Amino acid sequence: MTTYSVRSGDTLSGLAQRFNTSVGSLQKTNHIANANLIRVGQKLSVPDSFQAAAPSKAGAKAGSYTVRSGDTLSGIASRHGTTTGALAKANNISNPNKIYVGQKLTIPGKGGSAPVTPKPSSGGSTYTVRSGDTLSGIAGRHGTTVNALQQANNISNPNKIYVGQKLTIPGKSGGGGTTNPPPTTGGVGGTPGTSGGKGGVSVAQLRKIMPNLSQAKAEQYLPHLNKAMAEAKINTPKRQEMFLAQLAHESGELRYMEEIASGAAYEGRKDLGNTQPGDGKRYKGRGPIQLTGRANYRAAGKALGIDLEGHPERAKDPDVAFRIAGWYWGSRNLNSYADAGNFREVTRRINGGYNGMASREMYYRRAQDVLG
């Protein structure tokens, strides 16, 4: 058994891949109920000798793979030397963002030849990088691989692309054209579109962004969510996309309105205002953006006119929880960063770092597709 201390930027799925284990195994070993909630400095026990599914080798025929928690279709494709498009086609998947744990996937093979990395040709298209894009996400949307994009665009570090960068998308000859980013509406002074904006979002839109959220919960939460967004002036698609993406990650798609851990780890944390015995448990994380610590409960309650310091349990109730999330957003001036398209800075100001960035970006892209 190995012990690992979580660092900024770590995700459970990334650690599972690094240590050749599974997200489920890490969760079980460390009693983690929500795979999206790990914290910097947390000590994880890493089980030994786990035999993960091996990536496809050169010359391998078609195989199969069982989807695990934290998997994405683009990640599976990359590990098996194929493309997201090929995987989607082989498994009749219409939406590459919708796969589920336990799903059996057919991994297409070449029947004796090594996986071929697509190379750029005169028929390739171009794409302009937008805020929130990742190379793996772009590869997935265009049916290619990260390696192919790197080769086509002389990119040495796949984590370093910038907004406005023109990328060549490798393609078959004859399939030219330019791939433009989907249109967006809004921004400061913009006109909110029917899929977002001042009118808030619909149940259908919310569930497309958070597919694991039940219809009943979506209907219960939506009035409080839309009211909170209006109160915090989260009233353009740009702002709503970033806000909902962060909420989706922080709360496990609104399934966790209270931190599962007891809160004892926060006992005596003077930086959180926990100066009295029992404050750690009393003021543990609650709400879709986990409000934590006596000082934060006091500040939020004062701003909203609610005695949260005296009644901290109210922070998990939908009518209060979403207002707290809106207050937290406004207190850190996040609308201005959303207007500027700076998703990374929004993440840093919410998380204190970039923990779970891949998950946050996945929800952000999904929200852009739904609301943009």
Catalytic residue among 36, 97, 235, 259: 259
CATH code of domain 185-372: 1.10.530.10
User: 333 an active-site residue?
Assistant: no
User: 34 an active-site residue?
Assistant: no
Q: Which fold has domain 125-179?
A: Membrane-bound Lytic Murein Transglycosylase D; Chain A (3.10.350)
Structure tokens belonging to residue 68? 């695990």
Residues of the chain with CATH 1.10.530.10: 185-372
Structure tokens belonging to residue 317? 């109730």
User: 258 an active-site residue?
Assistant: no
Q: What is the pLDDT of residues 170-179, one digit of tens each?
A: 863 333 343 3
Superfamily in which the 2-46 domain is placed by CATH = LysM domain (3.10.350.10)
Contact, 293 vs 266, CB < 8 A?
yes
Catalytic residue among 36, 153, 235, 250: 250
Catalytic residue among 296, 335, 342, 355: 296
Q: What is the pLDDT of residues 157-215, one digit of tens each?
A: 776 777 778 888 886 333 334 333 333 322 222 223 333 445 689 999 999 999 999 99
Q: What is the pLDDT of residues 125-155, one digit of tens each?
A: 788 887 667 776 677 677 777 778 888 888 8
Structure tokens belonging to residue 169? 């998308």
CATH code of domain 63-107: 3.10.350.10
Secondary structure E strands in 135-187: 166-169, 177-179
> Is residue 367's pLDDT more than 80?
yes
Answer yes or no: pTM beyond 0.75.
Answer: no
Query: Which long-range contacts (C-beta less than 8 Å, at least 24 apart) are formed by 112-117?
Result: 112/59, 112/61, 113/58, 113/59, 114/58, 114/59, 114/81, 115/56, 115/58, 115/80, 115/81, 115/82, 117/145, 117/147, 117/148, 117/151
Residues of the chain with CATH 3.10.350.10: 2-46, 63-107, 125-179
